[in-house]
Structure 1
């Protein structure tokens, strides 16, 4: 399996991997829940903390070269927790009761699908899909809510140009950084990153009911893989 950064001379044990990833996710959830319950931080802001923070777990999967069963098992557990939290207010930082979105569930599901589709042979495409969603969509939502003054609507889905431009820029930067880390700098990679960023922004704009948490990561990873294959650079 390719690795972006050689942090580990050899893969750690499965127990150590599970412990590290679980500890990281627990810290993210506890931090978000603490802010949600003990401060005036909005539920939407704490959801984005979990959204961005949990997405980074895909980097652990890559760097630690986790076995496939761990990635799929973690996705299943996260999907189950997201569904339960949607109906029962156990974790407001994930979902609020009555919020008409299964986005957190789709997010966990998309990670599992990308792990199943690209790990262990081509993990970086899965990484691109998840990080585009985690950082691109997460920061776009925060920017749009805080500074989004120029609104537009698509199929009843309210967005802002400020948020969409953030999505475009962050998606481009994330995709390009991963590709350069794997292949080295190449002009083709800039074109691929640009096309992936445009596609991710369009998918994020059109999706309702949290479906962007499924369409954006799968679409970004799939398009990146297709374009790199078309240019003979997928391996």
Structure 2
């Protein structure tokens, strides 16, 4: 019966991952139509929620083509959503940005890079830093940022940037502790990635941070571990 159980399990796992993504978008759309939350909050629900699907993909050991197909599909959907009200919860914040498009593209690039190498942890690091680090930094900066600064005409706050650094470093430590065990290298890697991710987030415009932060963070972490291990 293994020949029957294996494909059934795969489709159930794929359905669970799809249900997670649909559920996140559904929650954001519901909050938007309720009109009780700021549009930026709805957008961050999607930003933080969807990226966690990489953990399911890693756990279920999805093949590379699943991630690439999903990335292409959602990239096209995001491009269309800028013109048509397909997923209004991801846009409508009054900003000129291709951030959601870059978000989908970066996931595909990271999966295409690290999945064939059997190193999904680095894809997860890049994606989760983009989702949790960047997402929480924006929320903290907007709500509790009391010490602003400007870069290239963009308003930032030290509270938001410190949140970005702290969350990024924590993600690197947690994932590498899980995959490699404790060593001095992972703590140095976490520090370097935290600084790099925060710098990339601070200087990026028009949503490019959704490309530069995950790719830069994953690449730097991978490079550090290749040099030290």
Asked if 1 retains the 8 angstrom alpha-carbon contact of 2:152 and 2:203, the reply is: yes
Q: Which runs of 5+ in 2 are unaligned?
A: 1-5
The answer to whether residue 55 in structure 2 is matched with residue 59 in structure 1 is yes
Cα RMSD for the two superposed structures: 1.5
Equivalent residues in 2 for 1:125-140, closer than 5 Å: 125-140=122-137
Equivalent residues in 2 for 1:1-235, closer than 5 Å: 13-96=9-92, 99-120=95-116, 121-232=118-229
C-alpha deviation, 1:74, in angstroms:
0.6
Could you list the runs of 4 or more consecutive aligned residues of structure 1 that deviate by over 6 angstroms after TM superposition?
none
Asked if 2 retains the 8 angstrom alpha-carbon contact of 1:87 and 1:97, the reply is: no
Residues 182-235 of structure 1, C-alpha deviation per residue, up to 9 Å, x if partnerless? 011112111100100100000000000000000000000000000000102xxx
Cα–Cα, structure 1 residues 199 and 12, in superposed 2: closer, same or farther, change >3 Å?
Answer: farther
Q: 1:37, 1:84 → 2: CA distance? A: 20
Structure with the higher fraction of residues in helix conformation: 2
C-alpha deviation, 1:52, in angstroms:
0.4
Q: Which runs of 5+ in 1 are unaligned?
A: 1-9
Size of the alignment, in residue pairs?
A: 223
